[in-house]
Amino acid sequence: MNKLTEEQIFKALEWHTNEEENDCIECPYKERKYFGNCVEFLLKDILNLLNRQKAEIERLKIRNKTLTEITNNYDWKFKKAKSEARKEFAERVKPIFKEMFDLMIDDDEGKCIIENCKKHSSVPCMNEYCIKENKEAWLTKIDNLLKEMEGD
Structural domain of residue 14, as residue ranges?
1-81
Q: Fill in the amino acid letter for 121.
A: S
pLDDT tens digits for range 2-20:
678 899 888 888 888 876 6
Domain presence at residue 75: yes
Instruction: Give the pLDDT of residue 68.
Output: 95
Domain presence at residue 118: no
- The stretch 20-31 carries a mean pLDDT of 70
- 45-51: long-range pairs with CB below 8 Å, 24+: 45/3, 45/4, 45/9, 45/12, 46/9, 46/13, 49/6, 49/9
Domain presence at residue 137: no
Number of structural domains in the chain = 1
pLDDT tens digits for range 38-94:
778 888 999 999 999 999 999 999 999 999 999 999 999 998 998 888 888 888 888
Determine contact, residues 62/51, Cβ cutoff 8 Å. no
Domain presence at residue 117: no
Q: Could you tell me the CA-to-CA distances from 60 to 5, 50, 65, 66, 146 in Å, in that order?
A: 21, 15, 8, 10, 43
